[in-house]
Chains A and B, each alone.
Chain A
Amino acid sequence: MIKAVAIAAGAGVVVTAPFIFILGFSGGTDTTTTVADTLDLKQVPTVYQQWIVKAAQTCPQITGPLLAAQIDTESSWNPEAQSPAGAVGLSQFIPSTWAAWGVNGNPSQDGTAVPKDPADAIMTQAKYDCAIAAKMKEDLKAGIVSGDLLSLTLAGYNAGIDAVEQYHGIPPYPETQQYVKDILSKMASYSAPVGNGSEQSAFGAQVVAAAMKWKGTPYSWGGGDTSGPTYGVGEGADTNGFDCSGLVLYAVYQASGGKIALPHSSELQATMGQEVPDPSLMKVGDVIAFQLKAPGDYDHIAIYVGDGDFIEAPKMGEPVRISSLSDPYYANRVKTIRRFG
């Protein structure tokens, strides 16, 4: 009931103003994916490290963690990998794509581009990725597609850029959506920690800082990923914003330097991290999950900012805001408190 009132009263009006503001971020810039740019070299098999580092210099959009995550997914770093349909090598290009795109990554050592040669495969991966990213950047500027440049690039890689252009964004194929999500998650394990490392208060402060950056951003059901607000689903389809678990997964990912990629579900987030057994032990940056609608169902999630307040993406029509735990709407709900760093 509360929800229906909020939608009727707020959706059309509240969303409009911040929406325009946010477009500046998503329409053709690629500044949102900065945290995961730094490669954690230790995670890359030694023999391939120099090639990942070199390939990551091909274009600014295609980073070391991205290339490593793709190759991990394509071949699990096995240069001899071969699929029944003839996809070959570290990067699993099929022969006709290789024929068009294959480059010789180490000309001083041999004379041809060979998909099973790790140097050639990695350099070709970067060349192909960069070409897709360049095209997607162009399409973003031209208004042909919308969304996060990195996600669009990965969708173009998996589904083909025609499909991305046809649907003006990530196409409705679960396989492609899964690929985009899986690569973004896997990038986390190839990214170097940033900042001061593991000092508890610093981590919590970074969670809060990341979330606070987006205070006032519209609520969008299904919105938000590791790099910032996204267009949501249904009523959220036109709104670049966050839902509750989208905001939490974003903030925790950013604070962890790309190390923790949570699922987009408050129920699952409520089971993860370290449980804080008592509210009196709660610290800034802890995540609070609430049971709002039904017993046993953690259907809402937010971030503690101190002084009895938390930041949340509440519901349609109500932007990311600070709320109080003493607010009667939240005060008597069952909660669980989780800590991620």
Chain B
Amino acid sequence: MSNTTTRTGQAAAAAVMILALAACGTMPTNPPDAKAPTKPTVPADSANAPAPTSTTPSLTPPTYPTGKAGIPRGPLPNPARVNGQDPDAVVVAALTVMYAMDTAIDTTPHDATVRAAPYLTPAYADQLKDHQPAMAPGAQWQTWTAHHAYTTATITPAEDPGRPSDTPTTAYRQYTITTTAHGDDGYTDPAGPTGTAFVELTRTDGGPWRVATVQVR
């Protein structure tokens, strides 16, 4: 996918640092470094290794092909008009783009998430861009493809009194997502993906808020 990503190394470094601070527990936790070395699960080059047994194939599957560059048909926010000083506006914009899928250009829902880059920290944008799903997108996507469908998302605020308070550099938000697919000949499917997104935003030096990670639960 070709996306314009603003690369501000400084901001990325700061974002990673903040995440690392947030995750300084005794157990390994999700985020921080996109560039952490990945370990192959089986020796990639087994010239000197014993011959792999034929009964244990690789658990590192090939990836599913990526989609095409292009603009999805659903309504999208205009990055120039999204108020970067308002974390809610940034979250809504990011989730709207992430769930604006289009079977005319995308091969899986993941392709849409990559397009949210303008609203993401460079580190998170890279994490998404560097990934491709291992498996096919499934039956609902197939049906949508047959109907030449795209999706639109409704993003609604959700609250829990335990949400962490905003600091000058970190904010958390919780939104629910519902999606509807729209296809040719009036086809609609209101039963697209739904979920609750827990979103972490970061910023540096009073700059615009950017989404540092999303967890859909």
Contacts and interface: CB of A to CB of B under 8 A. Distances in A.
Interface in B150-186: 156-165, 170, 172, 174, 176
Contacts of B64: 85, 87, 94
B198 A221 contact: yes
Interface residues on B, range: 35 or more
Contact of A3 (B107, B134, B143, B161): B161
A167 interface: yes
Contacts, number: 236
A105 to B, nearest CB: 16
Interface string A223-256: 0010000011111111100011100000000000
Contact of B215 (A96, A177, A293, A316): A177
B133 A265 contact: no
Could you tell me the dominant secondary structure of chain B's interface residues? Answer: loop
A171 interface: yes
Interface residues of A, number: 84
Interface in B69-87: none
Contacts of B133: 158-159, 173, 175-176
Contact of B136 (A92, A145, A163): A92
Chain A CB count within 10 A is highest, among B57, B63, B196, B197, for B196
Interface in A58-83: 72-76, 78, 81, 83
A152 to B, nearest CB: 12
Contacts of A94: 61-62, 64, 135-136
Interface string B32-45: 00001011110000
B109 interface: yes
Contacts of A313: 162
Given A162-B41, A172-B124, A222-B217, A238 B23 contact: yes
B214 A174 contact: yes
A294 to B, nearest CB: 8
Contacts of A293: 159, 161
19 contacts: A74-B136, A135-B41, A135-B59, A157-B134, A159-B133, A160-B61, A160-B63, A162-B41, A167-B31, A174-B216, A177-B215, A221-B162, A231-B30, A234-B164, A243-B160, A265-B196, A293-B159, A297-B159, A299-B161
Interface of B: 22-31, 36, 38-41, 56-65, 98, 107-110, 113, 124, 127-128, 131, 133-143, 145, 156-165, 170, 172, 174, 176, 193-198, 200, 213-217
| 5 tightest Cβ-Cβ pairs between the two chains A and B | A238-B25, A87-B136, A76-B139, A168-B28, A100-B57
